[in-house]
Amino acid sequence: MIAFLRKVKKVFTEKIQSAKVYLYEEDYINIRDGVSHSVPHPEIETDFDKVEKAIENPNFVSEDPDYKRKCYYLSFSGRGDYINQSMRVVVGRAGERLIVINAYFVYRRRSNEKIIWP
C-alpha cells in the first residue's frame, strides 16, 4: 500500500485554541489559480503575510453557519485596489487536521456569520 502524502507549505498556530492549521502546497496553488473555487485568489500569494496574520492574530473570528467553518479576519488599510478591506481566511477540518480552505479579500463579513472570538 502506498501512502499519499501531501506537501505542507506552511503550518500556522491559530489564535483561539493554539491549534495547528495546515496549508498544503496543492491547496495553495488551487486557491491562487482558482482551480477548486472557480475564482482565482492571487492575494494568497501576493499578500501571504496577511494570511498568516489573519490566522495567528486576527481582528475577529466568525463561524460560517452553512459549512461550520471558521473564518479568520484581518483588517488593514489596503493598497491599490484593496483599500479598507480584510483578509478572510476560511479554515475547515480534514480528518483530524485544520486546513486552509480559501483566502481572499473582502469588504465585510457575511451577514449570517456569527462572531465567535473575541
| pLDDT tens string 100-114 | 999 999 988 999 999
CA 30 vs CA 7, 9, 13, 33, 79: distances in Å: 14, 13, 22, 5, 24
Cα–Cα–Cα angle for 56, 84, 14, rounded to 5 degrees: 10
* pLDDT tens-digit series, residues 36-76: 777 899 989 988 999 999 999 999 999 999 899 999 999 98
- Identify the pLDDT of residue 3: 42
Percent of the chain having pLDDT more than 70? Answer: 92
Mean of per-residue pLDDT scores for the chain: 89
Band (80; pLDDT cuts 50, 70, 90) = low
Percent of the chain having pLDDT more than 90? Answer: 67
Query: pTM score > 0.85 for this model?
Result: yes
- Determine contact, residues 7/20, Cβ cutoff 8 Å: no
Q: Where are the beta strands (DSSP E) in the chain?
A: 8-13, 20-24, 60-64, 69-76, 85-94, 97-106, 114-117
Band (83; pLDDT cuts 50, 70, 90) = confident
- Identify the pLDDT of residue 4: 53
- For residue 100, the SS3 value is strand
Integer Cα distance of 38 and 93 in angstroms: 21
As to burial, measured by CB atoms within 10 angstroms (0-12 exposed, 13-18 middle, 19+ buried), residue 67 is exposed
